[in-house]
């Protein structure tokens, strides 16, 4: 085995330390700048009914500013559907990197006759430029004539002009305003571990798609399918003209223009392009708890027990890297998290209707006798240095080898590890997997650091203060009780850290402004070669995307037929097809409480990743009672709802403070009653692309007051959430569009005037929520301790009529966990001035005590209705103006009724 030659020590270190900067093969013309670049000339233009092709030739002397200009390019234009225009500019020799189809499958070309398309494509031959126009109103959406196209080996530039003060959104992942700044603003795409989510910096993922909203002139989307490092500028020219400019360090220009013209139609068209989100299990809507630093399996059990004792429903318990033996994937710490007791923990959770999720990191500990490494090495799954030895970096366990997710054996090797370690019969029967550190994050800054020297970050030593485990843990077996078997103190090995002197080796001459430093800094080296011959220089931004998708497949292989739940930190466009995401390592601050709203808006509505959320109450630093109470309510109306904190932070489980107990109970109670509503919204996002979280302008696209709103959102399309966003305040000023609304908590009607409304005295356990008139919200009558219990509760339908006395809603019910669903119920519920009609497909019959019974309708806004006009089962509540119609309707066939 090769690892025999890679013993720790000075010999291996020397061979790494003398590495020289990679030659870039530059032929730079002295003093040339981008302004000297000649652009291209189009010739040989050929058109068909639904396409156009042309040759592009460098239109003068090469400028070779950053690397050599590519002389011959090709242009391909396809009218792929009525709404989607594909424009691709690539090298004639087709040597330049293009994103692998297996990582981002391409949409089908429907070969729509150009005459039927919403968008027009116009070409100027010399100097080459093109224009995309919305035919209906002649609105120019994209026009590249303002600057020459530059296409070099390691620099590609394309600029489009934009209208003044445009409304541009998307281009994640970032922590910047939802509506992006237009002047002197840049967005770097280079996936990197980014603790504390700095602003104006590249974060963990790359989603090069933007939405351009032009009010009544429509909304369109522009997706650049390019995974290379890049910097996108939004700025003004010297003469004050607005532009957006792409600067990539490689790859081709592969554009998809999405016509809209409603905002949610762009979302759908983007899903048609990069893929629809996976459907996630019903239980993923439950409340999740995690903390780095849960010392041992008893402490994990105690957290679960403490939630029960406090009467706060906990659906999913998580464990961070604490559970591993010396931070190694696919192991359990024999003293603190012994396998036998872990199995008992999981079976206890399962018997109570709860779930368990564990973390995995990509870096595989390089250690003799460690089977996952030895097996992976034998199967050739790791990146290799030029001399054929494994390439190393440093993650939590110390020296690690990096899996190449594109190598032929990697999926099988990873799936085998998962199947064995997480086997239901002999391992830890977990329900979901969390993949972290997959940018990939490398604790070695650069090649000056010797990864073989790093001994990793072992858990705190056995004599460190540890929680008293002498307390009874309610709901857990004898083994977990004071009289049960004791856990031994961990037997520590000596740990030591190496300093990281700085030295860049791989520099791209065009600087895309990575906030972590040079391209290969703190990450897997960019000179690695993937099994398919492509370079990590080009595929860096796809690493976490590939890992999470391989993990999804492994989870599916482990439990065929069940929808996998995979949470990933690093992502690329289209990642939602298989994964969920949290917003990374934020901090326990009001600023990050607010930030979570605008991030959620972009992820769900623009990046097609619906199952997302932030670490509730914040990850780094100490939360406090007031902020955590507000955050408990804020998180309850975001799709993924997990409280998570860092090891050195104080405990912030909801049961820690009186106000968070109260806020947590209320938040979870409300969230659970609404789970079927949210699950229905998720289902339609996965099938129709309509976002389950709506920015305000999605529903009021012509109301300019909504364009910049980033502290309010629609949960589904009916519930407007307007949290208090000022630090330690009990007052909130929020916007109510000109429409009919009802207060969710009191049922009272509150008409929006297209103006701000201020609410004072919002208690720490309260959050303003409004129902938009014209909607019907299916709810469960009672909340419960788990989502499994919830499914046994009856339904109630909440009707919020619009100005015409009408409303509609949908309800989707299935079994909750299987990928293939055969017996599903899909209802259209309509209300029209007293008449209620429920119809649709009636497949779901209810399993093991699950309810498909509807107990009541509640119709809001009926103040002043004549009592005599009400049926015998109807009652008016004079205070709120709600009429309740009681009854027993089985949701197994069409029916109608009246109030």
Q: Which residues sit at the interface with ligand NAG, rule CB under 6 A? A: 16, 19, 184, 186, 196, 198, 233, 235, 238, 299, 302-303, 306, 308, 352-354, 379-380, 385-386, 408-409, 447, 505, 525, 527-529, 587, 620-621, 651, 653, 705, 733, 735, 755-756, 781-782, 785-786, 789, 793-794, 855
Closer residue to ligand NAG, CB minimum distance, 471 or 488:
471
Closer CB to ligand NAG, 29 or 651, in the complex: 651
CB 39 within 8 Å of CB 148 = yes
| Least distance to ligand NAG, CB of residue 207, Å | 19
Nearer to ligand NAG, 492 or 504 (CB): 504
Short-list 316, 180, 381, CA closest to 642? 316
Known catalytic residue: 238? no
Residue 527 beta carbon to ligand NAG: minimum distance, rounded to whole angstroms: 4
In SS3 terms, 477-546 reads as CHHHCCCCCCCCCCCCCCCCCCCCCCCCCCCCCCCCCCCCCCCCCCECCCCCECCCCCEHHHHHHHHHHH
Single out the residue of 719, 739, 697, 705 nearest to residue 639, CA to CA.
Answer: 719
Strand order in the sheet with 364-365: 364-365, 398-401, 392-395
By beta-carbon proximity to ligand NAG, the closer residue of 333 and 587 is: 587
- Within 10 angstroms of residue 861's Cβ, the number of other Cβ atoms is 23
Structure tokens at 865: 């209705």
Q: Which two tokens stand for residue 256?
A: 């998809």
Q: Is 685 helix (H, G, I), strand (E, B) or coil?
A: helix
Least distance from ligand NAG to the Cβ atom of residue 809, Å: 19
436 is catalytic: yes
- Minimum gap (Å) between residue 414 Cβ and ligand NAG: 13
- Pair 447, 582: CB distance under 8 Å: no
CB of 855 to ligand NAG, least distance (A): 5
| Cα 867 to the center of its chain, rounded Å | 50
**CB of 588: closest distance to ligand NAG in angstroms?**
7
**DSSP codes joined into one string, 240-271:** --EEEEEEESSS-EEEEEE--SSHHHHHHHHH
DSSP 274-310: H-PPPP--GGGGS-EEEETT--SHHHHHHHHHHHHHH
- Residue 704 CB, shortest distance to ligand NAG, in Å, is 9
Of these residues, 152, 344, 416, 436, which one is catalytic?
436
d(CA 146, CA 793): 61
Buried b (16+ CB within 10 A) or exposed e, 407-429: bebbbebbbbbbbebbeeeebbb
Q: Tell me, yes or no, if 585 is annotated catalytic.
A: yes
Nearer to ligand NAG, 449 or 799 (CB): 449
DSSP 724: -
Of the two residues 267 and 445, which places its CB atom closer to ligand NAG in the complex? 445
User: Can you tell me whether residue 17 is helix, strand or coil?
Assistant: helix
Considering 431, 439, 454, 587, which one is annotated as catalytic?
439
Cβ distance to ligand NAG smaller for residue 766 or 789: 789
CB of 656 to ligand NAG, least distance (A): 7
Query: Least separation, in Å, of the C-beta of 136 and ligand NAG?
Result: 29
Which one, 526 or 570, has the nearer CB to ligand NAG?
Answer: 526
- Which residue spans within 414-497 are E strands per DSSP? 432-435
Q: Which is nearer to ligand NAG, 475 or 840 (CB)?
A: 475
Alpha carbon distance 343, 357 (integer Å)? 13
| Nearer Cβ to ligand NAG (411/447) | 447
Close Cβ partners of 411 (under 8 Å, ≥ 6 residues apart):
405, 550, 553, 554
> Closest separation between CB of residue 579 and ligand NAG, Å?
26
Name the strands in the sheet holding 150-152, side by side, starting at the edge strand that comes first in the sequence: 150-152, 155-161, 242-248, 230-236, 185-189
The contacts of residue 47 (CB under 8 Å, 6+ apart) are: none
Q: Which residues are catalytic?
A: 436, 439, 585
């Amino acid at each position: 085995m090769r690892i025999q030659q890679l013993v720790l020590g000075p010999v291996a270190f020397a061979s790494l330390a003398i590495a020289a900067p990679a030659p870039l093969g530059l032929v730079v013309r002295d003093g040339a700048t981008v302004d000297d670049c000649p652009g291209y000339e189009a010739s040989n233009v050929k058109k068909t009914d639904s396409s156009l092709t042309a040759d592009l030739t460098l239109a003068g002397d090469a400028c070779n500013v950053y690397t050599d200009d590519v002389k011959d390019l090709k242009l391909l234009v396809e009218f792929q559907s009525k709404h989607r225009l594909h424009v691709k500019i690539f090298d004639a020799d087709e040597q330049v990197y293009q994103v692998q189809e297996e990582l981002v499958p391409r949409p089908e070309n429907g070969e729509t006759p150009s005459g039927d398309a919403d968008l027009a494509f116009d070409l100027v031959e010399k100097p080459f430029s093109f224009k995309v126009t919305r035919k209906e109103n002649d609105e120019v959406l994209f026009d590249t004539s303002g600057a020459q196209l530059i296409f070099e080996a390691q620099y590609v530039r394309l600029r489009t002009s934009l209208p003044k003060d445009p409304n541009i959104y998307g281009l994640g992942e970032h922590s910047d305003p939802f509506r992006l700044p237009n002047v002197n603003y840049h967005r770097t795409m280079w996936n990197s571990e980014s603790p504390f989510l700095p602003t104006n910096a590249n974060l963990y993922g790359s989603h090069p798609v933007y939405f351009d909203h032009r009010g009544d002139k429509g909304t369109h989307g522009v997706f650049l399918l390019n995974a290379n490092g890049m910097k996108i500028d939004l700025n003004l020219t010297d003469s004050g003209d607005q532009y957006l400019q792409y600067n990539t360090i490689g790859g081709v220009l592969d554009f998809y223009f999405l016509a809209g013209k409603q905002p949610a139609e762009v979302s759908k068209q983007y899903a048609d392009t990069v893929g629809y989100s996976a459907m996630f299990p019903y239980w993923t809507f439950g409340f999740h708890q995690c903390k780095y630093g849960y010392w041992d399996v008893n402490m994990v059990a105690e957290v679960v027990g403490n939630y029960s004792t406090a009467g706060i429903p906990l659906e999913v318990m998580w464990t961070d890297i604490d559970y591993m033996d010396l931070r190694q994937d696919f192991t359990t710490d024999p003293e603190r998290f012994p396998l036998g007791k872990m199995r008992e923990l999981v079976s206890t959770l399962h018997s109570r209707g709860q779930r368990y999720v564990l973390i995995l990191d990509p870096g595989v500990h390089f250690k003799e006798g460690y089977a996952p490494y030895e097996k992976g090495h034998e199967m050739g799954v790791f990146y290799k240095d030029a001399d054929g030895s494994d390439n190393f970096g440093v993650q939590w366990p110390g020296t690690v080898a990096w899996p190449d997710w594109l190598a032929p054996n990697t999926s099988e090797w990873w799936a085998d590890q998962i199947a064995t370690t997480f086997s239901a019969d002999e391992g830890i029967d977990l329900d979901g997997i969390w993949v972290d550190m997959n940018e990939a994050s490398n604790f070695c800054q650069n090649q000056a650091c010797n990864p073989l020297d790093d001994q990793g970050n072992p858990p705190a030593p056995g004599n460190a203060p540890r929680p008293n485990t002498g307390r009874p843990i309610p709901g857990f077996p004898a083994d977990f009780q004071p009289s049960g078997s004791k856990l031994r103190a961990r037997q520590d090995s000596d740990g030591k850290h190496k300093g990281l002197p700085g030295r860049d080796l791989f520099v791209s001459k065009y600087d895309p402004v990575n906030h972590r430093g040079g391209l290969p800094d703190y990450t897997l080296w960019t000179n690695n070669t993937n099994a398919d011959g492509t370079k990590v220089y080009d595929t860096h931004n796809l690493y976490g995307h590939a890992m999470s998708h391989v993990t999804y497949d492994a989870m599916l292989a482990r439990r065929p037929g069940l929808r996998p739940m995979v949470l990933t930190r690093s992502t690329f466009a289209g990642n939602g097809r298989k994964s969920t995401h949290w917003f990374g390592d934020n901090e326990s601050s009001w600023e990050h409480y607010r930030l979570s709203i605008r991030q959620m808006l972009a992820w769900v509505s623009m990046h097609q990743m619906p199952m997302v959320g932030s670490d509730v109450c914040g990850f780094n630093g100490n939360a406090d009672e007031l902020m955590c109470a507000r955050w408990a309510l804020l998180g309850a109306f975001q799709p993924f709802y997990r409280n998570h904190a860092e090891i050195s932070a104080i405990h912030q489980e909801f049961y820690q403070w009186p106000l968070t107990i109260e806020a947590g109970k209320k938040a979870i109670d409300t969230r659970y009653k609404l789970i079927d509503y949210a699950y229905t919204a998720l289902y339609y996002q996965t099938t129709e692309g309509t976002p389950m979280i709506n920015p305000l302008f999605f529903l009021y696209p012509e109301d300019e007051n909504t364009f910049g709103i980033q502290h309010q959102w629609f949960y589904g399309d009916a519930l407007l959430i307007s949290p208090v966003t000022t630090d330690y305040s009990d007052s909130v000023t929020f916007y109510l569009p000109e429409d009919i609304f009802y207060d969710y908590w009191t049922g009272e009607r509150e008409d929006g005037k297209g103006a701000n409304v201020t609410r004072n005295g919002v208690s720490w356990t309260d959050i303003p929520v409004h129902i938009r008139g014209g909607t019907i919200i299916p709810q469960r009558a009672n909340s419960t301790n788990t989502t499994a219990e919830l499914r046994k509760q009856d339904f109630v339908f909440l009707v919020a009529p619009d100005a015409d006395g009408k409303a509609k809603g949908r309800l989707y019910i299935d079994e909750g966990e299987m990928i293939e669903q055969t017996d599903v119920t899909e209802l259209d519920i309509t209300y029209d001035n007293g008449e209620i009609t429920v119809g649709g497909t009636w497949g779901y019959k209810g399993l093991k005590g699950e309810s498909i019974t509807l107990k009541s309708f509640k119709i809001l806004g009926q103040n002043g209705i004549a009592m005599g006009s009400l049926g015998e089962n109807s009652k008016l509540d004079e205070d709120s103006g709600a009429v309740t119609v009681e009854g027993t309707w089985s949701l197994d066939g069409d029916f109608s009724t009246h109030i």
